Every structure is written in C-alpha cells, then in structure tokens.
Structure 1
Amino acid sequence: MKKTLPPSLINPDHVDFPLLDALARDITKRAGGADALAESFPTMLRRCIDDVIMTPKTGRRSYDELEKTEKTYIGTRVEIELRALLRLSKGRLDTVILGHDVDIKNTMGSNWMIPTEAVGHPCLLVAADEARATCYLGLIVARPEYLTAGQNKDAKKSVSATGFGHILWLLCHHPYPANFWRTVPPDTITRIFAGTTGNQRMATLFRAVQGLPITRDVVEAVAQQQDFMRRIRSDKGRGTRDHLAEEGILLLSGHYDAPLIKALNLPPCAGSEFISYQPVTQAEADLAIRTGAPLCWPPRQGAMDL
C-alpha cells in the first residue's frame, strides 16, 4: 500500500457519509465490535495468504514466489473468508450489506481494480502490505470522479490519487501478523534448512529464534516430516524439546505451557503456537523446573551436537 495516504474527507457533510457510515457501523457490529474486528480481520488476512503460499507442502516462503493465478486466487479467498467472518450473503456483486450491493476488492499492491459493474456502488476495500506487515479495510462509493481516467484491458479502473481521500477507513496502517520468514535473517534461514534431519532443522529454528511465537505451519515447514508434532514434544530423549532442554533452552507450547509462558513474561502464544526461551537467571530456571518443564540447568557442555 502507499506509504502516505491523504486524510479521509468522509465527514458528516460529505455526500457519501450517510451510506458509508451506516455500512461501517453494520460491519463493525457483525464483527463483534471495533476491537474484535481489529483482531479477527488481520488474522483472517494472514491465513488467506499463507494458505495459498503453502510453505509446508511447496517450500515457498513468500507471496512473491506465487504464480500469477495464485495471486489472483488470494482475492477470491479473501472475499469468501470476509463474507464468512461478517456473516454476509452473496449478492449481485460480491455481497449485500444493509440491502446495498457491495463489491469486495483486495490488493497486495498499492491500489484496487474496480470493474465497470461496481461503478456507482459501495466497495469494501482490503489491502495487505507484506513488507510493512500492515493491513487496511475501507469503504468507498466507486463514483466515476473518484477513479482514474485510464483503464486496463478489462475496462477496470483504479482509485485515483484524489479518490483515496474519499475512503472511509475502518482499519488503516493497522498491524497484522508478519510473514514469519521476513522476520528471520537470510543467513539464519540458510542454517535452519541446512539440517539433514527434522530434529536438526527444528532445533536450529528454536535455538536461533527465541522469545517469538512460532506457528504450527512454520514448524511443519521446517520439520518436513509427516509426524512433525512428535519431534517437537519430549520423545524419550530423542525429540527437539529434549535436545534443546540439554542446552538450557525451553521449548514451550501455547496450549500446555501458557502459565509458564506468562510467568516468564514471554509474548502470549495461541494454542497452536510454540515459543523457545533460554532462562537467564537461576530464578527463571527454578520456575521452569518446578512446573515440570524439561530443562538441564546449568546447560550441559557440548549439548548442541544432535
């Protein structure tokens, strides 16, 4: 998305205010409130993108690696998921809100392509900026004067520079879960995937990336094994958790170890996420050991050899 967006001109005196304000209120209500929308929308958007990248199955780690048809499908997926999130029905365009036909447009770039059939109708605008890990959700009435003069071969037009000022934003420059692999230095990624076994790759992952929740999909992609969850658990001294414990590193589950994660002041983890952490004080180590977490303290020398 554009780095700089003009201030929204949508106010009670604006010609589109009554319609856009009513639509925005209904969308927010359907989402369960403003806070719920701010939480559920970014998560939905991240899932739509990651499910198409399919890192565990394809080995791809970014949107840029997708085929053109896959990038197009993300827009369709977002439309379907957004309707489900807001409990909206299909309409003559993409959906119907308060009796109005509404088109849903998604972009991973800096603008949206508005089809001729949506001109004159309200559009629900969705955008994800992978580089900045920000997302956007807005409403605009696609009036001709808000669109560019030029069009593509399908007669679709974009929102003009001045047209951006006529968007009512529900979420703007809003954080959303970053693509995990964008947060990891390239040399670290190389080290992770240099491992010849699933245990080696996962141990390198959790050794190198500590204090950060890591999703099940990332673990599956790194393990490259069908029974990857077995490797992440204690497995009679053979699992990734066992090897890291000998190095003095905790490998915690958001589902089973939530109290310990909170006690160590680590970022909250969803039930399907994992986080690693090496205690820095005896008190932290004692706390972990008291909860039953496997941990060798002080770490055994030479324990990094799997």
Structure 2
Amino acid sequence: MKKTIPDSSVVAGHPDHPLLAAIADEITRRAGGHATLAASFPAMLRQCIDDVIMTPKTGRRSYDELEKTEKTYIGTRVEIELRALLSLPKGRLDTRILGHDVDIKNTMGSNWMIPTEAVDHPCILVAADEGRARCYLGLINARPEYLTLGQNKDAKKSVSAQGFANILWLLRDHPYPANFWRTVTPEAVERIFAGTSGNRRMATLFREVQQVAITRDVVEAVARQHDFMRRIRSDNGRGTRDLLAREGILLLSGHFDAPLIRALGLPPCSPSEFVSYRLEHVKEFALARQHGFDLME
C-alpha cells in the first residue's frame, strides 16, 4: 500500500458521507462491533492468502512465489470470504448493502482497479501489505472524478492520488498476522527444511523459533506428513517433544499447557497453537516439574 495516505475528507458535509457512513455502520454491525471487525477481518485476510500459497502442499512460503492467476484468485477469495464474514448477499455487483449495489475490490499492491460497472457505485476497498503485515478496509463512492484518467486494457481505472482523500476508512494501516516465514531468517528456514524426517524438521523449527506462538498450518507445512500432529507428541523417546526435552526445551500446547505458558510469561497461545521455550533457571525447571514436565537441568 502507499506509504503516504491522506486523511479522509469524508466527514459531515462531504457529499458521500451520508451513504458511506451508513454502509460503514452496517458493516460494523454485521461484524459484531468494531473490535470484532478489527480482529476477524485481518485473520480472514491472512487465511485467504495462506490458502492460496498452500505451503504444506507446494513448499512455497510467500505471496511472491504465486503464479499470476493465483494472485488474481486471492481477490475472488477475499470477496467470497468477506461476504461470508458479514453475512452479505450476492448482488448485481459483488454484494448489496442497505439496498445499494456494492463492489468489493482487493489489492496486494498500492491501488485498486475499478471496473466500469462499479463507477458511481460504493466500493469496499481491501488491501494487504505483506511486507509490513498491515491491512486496510475502506469505502469509496467510485465517482469518475476520484479515478485516474488513464485505464488498463480492460477499461479499469485506479483511484487517483486526490481520490484517496475520498476514502472512508474502517481500518487503516491496521496490523494483521504476518506471513510466518517472513519472520524467520533465510538461514533458519534452510536449517528447518534440511531435516530428513518430520521429527527432525519439527525439532529444528521449535529450536530455531522459540517464545513465538506457532500455528497448526506451520506445523503441517514443516512436517509434510499426513498425520502431522503426531510429530509434536512424545513418542517413546523419539518424538519431537522428546528430542527437545533432552536439550532442556519445552514444547507446549496452547490447549493442554496454558497454565504453564502463563506461568513462564510466554506469549498467549490459542488452543491450536504451540510455543517452545528453553528453560534456564532452577525455578523454571521446578515450575515445569509442577506441571508434569521432568527435564534434565
């Protein structure tokens, strides 16, 4: 997304304010309130992108590795998932809100392509900035004067530099879950995937990336096996937990080990996430034993 975005001029007195404010209120209401929207929308975007990257099946780990057609499909996926998230009906354009035909436009770049059929209609603008892990959700009434004079071969136009001021933002420069593999150094990624077995790759993952909540999707991508969850269990001394325990590293489940995760001051984990931690102090080893872990000091 653009580094510099002007403040919205869509306030009381702006010709688009009554329409866009009403649609914004309806979107927020359907989402369950602003706080819920601010949590569910970023998670939805992350899932849309990761489901197309398909790391477990393809080995790809970033948006940049996608084919052009796959990048285009992300826009379709976002449209479908956003309608589902907000329980919106299909319309003559992408959806209908408060009786108005509304188009949904998504970009992973710095602008949106507005088709001719959406001109003079309200549009929901969605953007994801993978590099900065920020997302955007806005509304614009796609008047011709807000769009560029030039157009692409499909007669689509972009929002002009001046047109950006006519966007009413619901979420602007808002954090969303980063692509996990962007948070790991290339050297660590190479070490993780150099393992010749699921257990070795998994052990390296949790050895290299500690005190960070790791999702099941990442576990599946690293295991590259059908029963990928088996890789993180104890297994008669051969499982990932066993390998790490011999090094003084705990592998904890957000579902089963939440009390110990809190006691150690580790980041919160959802029930489907995992976190690892190398014990350092006598008190930590004692705390682990109190919760059923008996690691060598």
- TM-score scaled by length of structure 1: 0.96
Matches of residues 208-223 of structure 1 in structure 2 within 5 Å?
A: 208-223=208-223
Instruction: Report Cα offsets for 1:202-250 as digits up to 9, x if no partner.
Output: 1111001000011111111111111121110111211101110111101
> What is the identity, as a one-letter code, of the residue corresponding to 2:292?
G
> What is the identity, as a one-letter code, of the residue corresponding to 2:113?
M
> What is the identity, as a one-letter code, of the residue corresponding to 1:46?
R
Query: Runs of 4+ in structure 1 displaced over 2 angstroms?
Result: none
In structure 2, the residue corresponding to 1:131 is in which secondary structure? coil
Corresponding residue number in structure 1 for 2:4: 4
Measure the CA separation in 2 of the matches of 1:256 and 1:297: 22
Root-mean-square deviation (Å): 0.8
Say whether 1:185 aligns with 2:185: yes
Measure the CA separation in 2 of the matches of 1:284 and 1:10: 54
Corresponding residue number in structure 2 for 1:112: 112
Q: CA shift at 1:7, angstroms?
A: 0.8
Corresponding residue number in structure 2 for 1:132: 132
Corresponding residue number in structure 2 for 1:13: 13
Corresponding residue number in structure 2 for 1:171: 171
> What is the identity, as a one-letter code, of the residue corresponding to 1:17?
H
Corresponding residue number in structure 1 for 2:296: 297
Percent identity for Structure 1 against Structure 2:
76
In structure 2, the residue corresponding to 1:48 is in which secondary structure? helix
In structure 1, the residue corresponding to 2:69 is in which secondary structure? helix
Matches of residues 22-33 of structure 1 in structure 2 within 5 Å?
A: 22-33=22-33
Instruction: Report Cα offsets for 1:8-47 as digits up to 9, x if no partner.
Output: 1111011100011101111011111110000000000000
Measure the CA separation in 2 of the matches of 1:100 and 1:141: 11
In structure 1, the residue corresponding to 2:241 is in which secondary structure? helix
Corresponding residue number in structure 2 for 1:247: 247
Corresponding residue number in structure 1 for 2:99: 99
- The size of the alignment, in residue pairs, is 297
Measure the CA separation in 2 of the matches of 1:258 and 1:47: 24
> What is the identity, as a one-letter code, of the residue corresponding to 2:296?
W
- TM-score scaled by length of structure 2: 0.98
> What is the identity, as a one-letter code, of the residue corresponding to 1:297?
M
Instruction: Report Cα offsets for 1:70-127 as digits up to 9, x if no partner.
Output: 1111000000000000010000000011111100000000000000000000000000
> What is the identity, as a one-letter code, of the residue corresponding to 2:214?
I
Corresponding residue number in structure 1 for 2:40: 40
Measure the CA separation in 2 of the matches of 1:82 and 1:262: 34
Instruction: Report Cα offsets for 1:247-299 as digits up to 9, x if no partner.
Output: 11010111111121112111111111111011222212211211113x4231x
Instruction: Identify which range, 163-172 or 284-293, moves more after superposition.
Output: 284-293
Measure the CA separation in 1 of the matches of 2:169 and 2:286: 49
Measure the CA separation in 2 of the matches of 1:283 and 1:3: 47
In structure 2, the residue corresponding to 1:230 is in which secondary structure? helix
Corresponding residue number in structure 1 for 2:238: 238
Measure the CA separation in 1 of the matches of 2:109 and 2:247: 44
> What is the identity, as a one-letter code, of the residue corresponding to 1:25?
D
> What is the identity, as a one-letter code, of the residue corresponding to 2:175?
P
Corresponding residue number in structure 1 for 2:161: 161
Measure the CA separation in 2 of the matches of 1:164 and 1:42: 21
Instruction: Report Cα offsets for 1:33-65 as digits up to 9, x if no partner.
Output: 110000000000000000000000000000011
